[in-house]
Structure formats: C-alpha cells, structure tokens
Structure 1
Amino acid sequence: MTDTLRIPDEIAFKAIDPKAYADGSVHEAFRWLRENQPLGRAELEGVEPFWLVTKHADILEISRQNDLFHSGDRPTTFTTKEAEAAVRQMTGGSPHLVRTLVQMDAPDHPKYRVMTQSWFLPQNIRKLEDRIRQIAREHVDHMAALGGECDFVNEIALFYPLRVIMEILGVPPEDEPRMLRLTQELFGAQDPELNRDRKEAMDVAAGMEMMQGIIADFFMYFKGITDDRKAEPKGDVASVIANAQIDGVPINDFEAMSYYVIVATAGHDTTSSSTAAAIWGLAANPEEFAKVKADPSLIPGLVDEAIRWMTPVKHFMRSATEDTEVAGRKIAKGDWLWLAYPSGNRDEEVFNDPDAFRVDRKDGKHLAFGYGAHLCLGQHLAKMEMRILFEEMLPRLKSLSLNGEPKLAQANFVGGPKTLPIKYEMA
C-alpha cells in the first residue's frame, strides 16, 4: 500500500475514538479527510487496516452494491483485532455476537427483512397515527407539567419513541424501563456514564463479558415473549417474529432473539437522538424556531434536518467480495471499509453550509438511514413519530432556549445527546 493513501494516524484515530464523537472534534477530522484524503487507508496499531469512506457519493456507491460489498463476512461494526478474536472464540468462528438484519447478506437478508417489512410500510404505519398522536400529546402534557425547565433527553426524548415501538412490538408498559436500560447499556458501552459497569476503561475480556451479559438479558426476556406468542399469537410484531418461517422452517431461537433486539433497540434509540437533536437545533437557533413556528409545513424539513445534523448511526463496516475500484482507489477482495455517515451528511459538495442547522434546507438527501438493501426498515415510522410530536408540541411552545451545555454520548457506532437542558414557555 503506497503511503500516499495512508491516513495520518492522529486523523484515523479521531474517526474511531468514541470521545471525538462526544466533543464534536470528529467533524474536524472528517472535514480534513473530505478535503485531503476522502477515501484513504487507516493503519492503526491493534486494528485490521480499513478504508475510511467520507464522501457522500462514495458511501452511496458502496451501499448500492450489496453483492460487491458485504455486511456479514467480517465484523459489521468497527472492532479491534483482540476483540474480534474474542468474539470468534465465543461464537465458534462467527465475528457476530448477534445475527440481525444488519449482519446479513443475500440470500438470507431479503428473506428475514420481508418478515416484518409490511409492518413498517407507510400505508400500514398510517393506521397507527391516531395512537401515536395520543402518545405524543401525553409527552407534551408531561413537558408542560415540568414547569418550563427540563432535561429534554432524560424526561421526554428517551420515552416517547420507546413507548411507540414497545406497543408495536408487544412489550407491556411496565417492562419499558428495563428495555431502555438494556438499550443504553448496549449502545452506550463506550460511555462511562451509560455502560453497565459505569467504567471509563475496560480490558477486552471485561468488555466482552459485559456485552454478553446484556445480550443474554435481552434474549432471556424475549424468550418469554416468544413462548407466549407461539402459544397465543396477537396482532403485534412479536407474534410475527415468534411464528416466522424461513424457507418453510421455523426461525431458530438465536435469530428470533436477534430480531427482537434490533427492533427493540434501534427502533427507539436513534429516534430519541434525532428528536433531541431537533430541540437542540431549535433552542440554539432562535431564527429556525421562529421559522417553523410561523410555518408548520416546515416540520417534515425540521425532522430530516435533525436526523442529518445528528446522524445517530455513526458507521457500518462493509467488506469487498472481489477486487474492485471506488473513486479511483483499488479495493482488494476482503478489504474492510468504514462508511462514515456523519461525514457524508456534512459533505460540502452536497450540503451548503453543512454544519448549520436549517429547517428549510432544500439541498441534498441525507444518508442517516443508509441506502440500498440495508435502508433502515423503520425510517417511515421514525419520521412519522417525530413529525407528530412536533405537530403537537410546536403550537404550544411560546419560547425555547438552552439552559446549560448539552452533552453527547461517547459512542462511535450509535449515539446522540445524553443530556439536553432547556428552558421554555408553554402556551
């Protein structure tokens, strides 16, 4: 590999460092990469070499070609050599602790995706609109009752999408706190304030043991739900998963449990982050708040801009199934590629003034839901939840401002605001 393609170590490290996502400095690293080395090689100690893909067009190009760039052959999210070896030892050779849609490729991926796909189509989720609006109103009423100050993340944003997805999945309200805790422990594993052991640094063995424990807790919980829905199916997604068949054979427990985990976690966590991002963006930019207050038809634009601006899913990894070329770079069979979604979503060639938060932005389409076969299954539901919440909230909000410094989670895979102190007046 010629040195001209190698990314300087300090820049490559920023891209993988969870703390750089918490303090925002990762955006400076991505800006440098887009200008100087938009598709370069990271060769860091203790890590398999990988390509860092930072341009919107290149991320699209790779995401579009699902036969050429696989999700499941190598780890689907970034890991170190030591951690990957530990996972393979635990699983008998697989690089994955769970097997969800994101770890699958064709022919399995489309078969598993279609199991629940109809649940999340626009025409079907429209039937849920009245119930979601009722849940949204309850949360806006709660916000009003808090008396003009709150931590929007920990008092509103975490709970609204959680209630919606748990109803769809079939998890009773009394179990929602457990699901929230497990989700935060799973996605917040790199953050000392969110991880299960509340530790700043862990060795690989301790980290693996922690992750195994979280996944085991999820599996144990959903095993009870599966047994219940097999005995007595209901009209929820849990019943669909519990009774699913692939190629005429009932889905196995490991894959059923993995399916529950992806719906139960990704189904609310990313929406919570984007919902909080919208309020953060409006509180920090009074002119944007005034625009959307004056013109509610801008709410869908607010939703998309919040998702772009925060980009809760920070990366997925892909690996090349044969020798190929992307943006003039020769990619060898087996090469590992990091798709940097926050970078693609701030690409100056696609978005004008990309760091700014603008509710009436017309330029470019964000990549926060992915693209191609792995396009997020729940994107329509997420956008509908956010739209309904702001339709209910904005007419009642007279003023909105930050009431302290927001904090972001330390996470290089999935993360968003951890605290968001705001002040507001309700009508």
Structure 2
Amino acid sequence: MNGRSPRWTVGGPDLDLADPHFYTDPRHHGIWRAARDAHPVAWTESARTGGFWSVTTHAEGSAVLRNPQVFVSGLGMRLGADPRGVEAAAGRMLVVSDGAAHRRLRSAHQSWFNGRAVAALLPVLRRQVDARLGELLARGGPFDAVAELAEWMPTWVLFEMMDIPGPDRDELAGIMARAFDDADESAAGAAGRTAAHTEIFAYFAGLLDDRRDCPGRDIVSSLATAEAHGRPFTDDEVLLNCDGLMNGGLETTPHAVSGALLALARRPDAWRLLKQDPGLLDTAVEEVLRWTSPALHAMRTAAEDTTLGGARIRRGDRVVVWLPSCNHDERVFPDPDAFEIGRRPNPHLGFGGGPHYCVGSTLARAEVRCLLEALLRHVKSIEVTGDAPRRPSNFLRGLQRLEVELVPEAGNGRGAGADGEEDVHVHEAHEHVRATGDAAGDAA
C-alpha cells in the first residue's frame, strides 16, 4: 500500500482505466457516473501505466487544468507516453511545456488559429465540404463516414495550412494513423508506432529544409522563420510542433465529426429541430463537442504537495482528468446523457482549460459548424446502416467505423462545390491569414 486515499473502487479490483479496450464498451459511462458520487478524486492502480489520480468531476477537473503552477504539463500529458520521448520534447513542444517556454511556443501558433485567420479559410472550407457531400450524395448508398468524411475534412484543412504537396498527402495520413493507433499494446505495436513517428519526423525534416530555403505562406514556413521572445525556433522545435499539430489536428476533430453524425442519426428529433431552427447551430456545435469529448483524458503532474477534492496529492504524482466524465457531470449539466442541441449554458471541457486550452479550438468549432451547415443544406436525413464500433484507446474517444447513408433533399442530389477554384481561394485565404496573423488569439 502506498498510503494514498481514497482509492478507486468502482467497477471492481480488476478494472484498469488505462486499458484501451475498456472504452469500447458503453458501460464505462456508468462506471464514471458511480465514481463521481463515490470518489471524485481517487488513486488508481494500472498494470499498464502505474498509479495515478483519477479526476471525474467538472469542478475538480477544472481546478487541475486551470492551475498550471501546481499541475504541470512538462512531465507528460497522456498516460502511456514514452518517458524518453516526453523528456526530449519537454519545453520544446507546445503540449508538454510550461510557463515561459509554453508562452513562447504558443505565440508562434496563435496567429494561425485565431478567429480572423480561421474566418479567412471558411469560404474555401465551405466549398470543399459542399463538393465532398455532393460526391457522396451523387454516388448514393452507404459509406464509411469516418474514412470518407470525418477524417477527410480536418486532413484537408491541416494539409492546406501546412501546404503539404498533394502527392504526399495520402501517404502521410496513413503514417499518422499508424503513429497514434494504440490498440496494439504489444512490443511490436509500440515499435510500429515509434517507427511511424520516425517517418513523420523524417518527412518534416525534408519539408523544413525546403521551407527554410524558400519560405511560403504556410504554418511550417512560419515556424521555420519566426522569432518568438527574441530568438528563432530550432529545427527540433519546428519538427516536434509539426508532429504535435498533426496529432491535434488529425486525431481529435474527426471523432467530433463522426460522433455528430451518429448522434443526429440516432436522434432524428434533434435533427428535425436543427433543420427547423438553424439559429441553434452555435449551441449545437458546443453540444457536439461536449457529447463526443474526443480527448479522453488530460494528464498533469503535481509540482508540489496539494489537496484536491479532499484527496492529498503528493509532489510528483500524476493526475489524470477524465474529460468525458467531467462533461457528463450532473452537477453542471442537467440531464447530461441527453443530446440537447439547444443546451445553455454548456461549460464543457472538450478543449481542456487554462493556458493549455486547445490552440486549435476556433478551427475545430469552425469545422464542425461547416459540416452541420452543409448537412442542413443538402441532406434530408442521416441513416446508420451498419455497426459503429468504438476505437480502442485510453486517450482518444471516437469511432473506428460508421456506415451511414445520407438521404438528399428533394432536387438537391449534389453539393454546390466549386471544382477547380479551390487552390486560388486557398492562396487568397493564406494571404489574408498572414495579413491578420499578428492579432491576438481567441483562447486564453
């Protein structure tokens, strides 16, 4: 016994919250519900990752995320991460930095993700989504919404912002999928993920050389040529943060998008309400983000002895905030298991909180909104035609596959895409982004 209490008891002694397959079973919501009542902050043992504190309530979760002096990120922000990799990236990669180092790195990202920069990309994104829906509606029949829509949209957005050459995009997306697939817990699986990350770094090292020689109007060039707090970024810093952008951009938003499709398909009353009142789009986006909660957890490390929710936390203890549980806390969200597109207020923690509040939150909201807008314009109903298995992961919460069929509005079998014009508009958008890029970002 290590003397830490209270200890996690809900679900029995064999429950391992770090088990990726635990989250493929919808019963985990009941486990979290019971934990919020029994022990909101509890010491948790895991054969996979060792011991840590689990936080399941909104108040305590917010307290961890919004107190970076006591709960730091530089020692890792996810369970199961390679300690050597965390040590190498600490202070040089946005998500595993604290204090002045974090502010310096965030300032270089901020101009690409603030409201004005995202607004500049919206007209192009809307045309792209319309065109994609048009293709799917014209083809007819069921399709995998995860692969053909949910993953496609954020991939297109991020690759445009990074100006990834067209021929490289499919291969790079495949490498990313291997790098962050934690379903295989074997040594071979870990080696495969490491090899994929090595490929990502090698790719961006070549791209970085090109952008240093001939900078463009893209985020890689911006990082390569920027100075923040009086000094330029090193190659390692640029490469680490390109990897972080790929992870954040391609591994979270797709789960919100596919989760939105599933929720609206299974709740036709919510879909009808949104069709009748598009003025609910803003609250619908926030409810999608609360409901889907694509990031399963955010981890911090206690920098000093402290107390949280009645538990005595020791310096060096890892503290894991289970974000979907916080976003279903009955004390904050009345009837939390209901998908209510008009929910107000909706103070969800889908993007974390405090100084590490997701730098891409404005862009993610825009992507979800663009999808909903396009669906409202062109789709009469969404029908699930197959199973919807969840991805085994203790870090990302989403679907492996979602077979759906979109029923078009009468006389509206194709979207209003603007084929052949996108590249021009993207470059125009990039010009506008750079012109407005010095503006302060929306996130704290």
Could you say whether these structures have the same fold, taking a TM-score greater than 0.5 normalized by the shorter chain as the test? yes
Does the alignment pair 1:366 with 2:368? no
What residue ranges of structure 1 are gaps of 5+ in the alignment? 191-199
Does the alignment pair 1:169 with 2:162? yes
1:196 corresponds in structure 2 to none
2:362 corresponds in structure 1 to 380
Partner of residue 314 from structure 1, selected from 291, 296, 301: 296
| CA spacing shift, 1:4–1:233, aligned 2, 3 Å | closer
Offset at 1:98?
Answer: 10
Offset at 1:156?
Answer: 1.2
Partner of residue 118 from structure 2, selected from 109, 113, 125: 125
Does the alignment pair 1:146 with 2:139? yes
Q: Is contact 2:298–2:321 with CA below 8 Å preserved after alignment?
A: yes
For residues 165 and 274 of structure 1, what CA distance do their matches in structure 2 show? 16
| CA spacing shift, 1:104–1:23, aligned 2, 3 Å | same
Query: What amino acid is the match of 2:7?
Result: R
Does the alignment pair 1:339 with 2:321? yes
For residues 235 and 111 of structure 2, what CA distance do their matches in structure 1 show? 22
Does the alignment pair 1:180 with 2:173? yes
Offset at 1:14?
Answer: 4.3
Q: Is contact 2:91–2:101 with CA below 8 Å preserved after alignment?
A: no
Moved more, 151-160 or 262-271: 262-271
Does the alignment pair 1:7 with 2:8? yes
Which SS does the other structure have where 2:400 is aligned? Answer: strand
Q: Is contact 1:350–1:363 with CA below 8 Å preserved after alignment?
A: no
| CA spacing shift, 1:237–1:66, aligned 2, 3 Å | same
For residues 108 and 4 of structure 1, what CA distance do their matches in structure 2 show? 34
- TM-score normalised by length of structure 1: 0.90
Which SS does the other structure have where 2:295 is aligned? Answer: coil
1:69 corresponds in structure 2 to 71
1:104 corresponds in structure 2 to 97
Query: What amino acid is the match of 1:188?
Result: D
Offset at 1:246?
Answer: 4.5
Identity %: 31
Query: What amino acid is the match of 1:306?
Result: V
For residues 63 and 4 of structure 2, what CA distance do their matches in structure 1 show? 25
1:20 corresponds in structure 2 to 22
Which SS does the other structure have where 1:409 is aligned? Answer: coil
Offset at 1:187?
Answer: 2.3
Offset at 1:201?
Answer: 4.5
Partner of residue 160 from structure 1, selected from 148, 153, 158: 153
For residues 343 and 258 of structure 1, what CA distance do their matches in structure 2 show? 30
1:353 corresponds in structure 2 to 335
**RMSD, matched Cα:** 2.1
Q: Once the two structures are superposed, what CA deviation does each residue of 1:73-105 show, in whole Å capped at 9, x if it has no partner?
A: 3x32112xxx75xx43xx6x9276995211111
Q: Is contact 2:17–2:46 with CA below 8 Å preserved after alignment?
A: no
For residues 155 and 162 of structure 1, what CA distance do their matches in structure 2 show? 11
Offset at 1:4?
Answer: 5.4
Partner of residue 186 from structure 2, selected from 202, 208, 224: 202
Which SS does the other structure have where 1:66 is aligned? Answer: coil
Paired residues in the alignment total 407
| CA spacing shift, 1:268–1:208, aligned 2, 3 Å | closer
Offset at 1:355?
Answer: 1.8
Which of structures 1 and 2 has the larger relative contact order (alpha carbons within 8 angstroms, sep 6+)?
2
Which SS does the other structure have where 2:17 is aligned? Answer: helix
1:263 corresponds in structure 2 to 245
For residues 390 and 43 of structure 1, what CA distance do their matches in structure 2 show? 41
Counterparts of residues 265-304 of structure 1 (less than 5 Å): 265-304=247-286
Q: Is contact 2:92–2:101 with CA below 8 Å preserved after alignment?
A: no
1:41 corresponds in structure 2 to 43
Q: Is contact 1:143–1:156 with CA below 8 Å preserved after alignment?
A: no
Does the alignment pair 1:397 with 2:379? yes
| CA spacing shift, 1:9–1:182, aligned 2, 3 Å | farther
For residues 31 and 71 of structure 1, what CA distance do their matches in structure 2 show? 27
Q: Is contact 1:305–1:361 with CA below 8 Å preserved after alignment?
A: yes
Which SS does the other structure have where 2:252 is aligned? Answer: helix
Which SS does the other structure have where 2:87 is aligned? Answer: coil
Q: Is contact 1:9–1:42 with CA below 8 Å preserved after alignment?
A: no
Which SS does the other structure have where 1:94 is aligned? Answer: helix
Offset at 1:133?
Answer: 1.1
For residues 4 and 318 of structure 1, what CA distance do their matches in structure 2 show? 18
Q: Is contact 1:135–1:164 with CA below 8 Å preserved after alignment?
A: no
Which SS does the other structure have where 1:408 is aligned? Answer: coil
Offset at 1:382?
Answer: 0.9
Does the alignment pair 1:233 with 2:215? yes
Moved more, 7-16 or 115-124: 7-16
- TM-score normalised by length of structure 2: 0.86
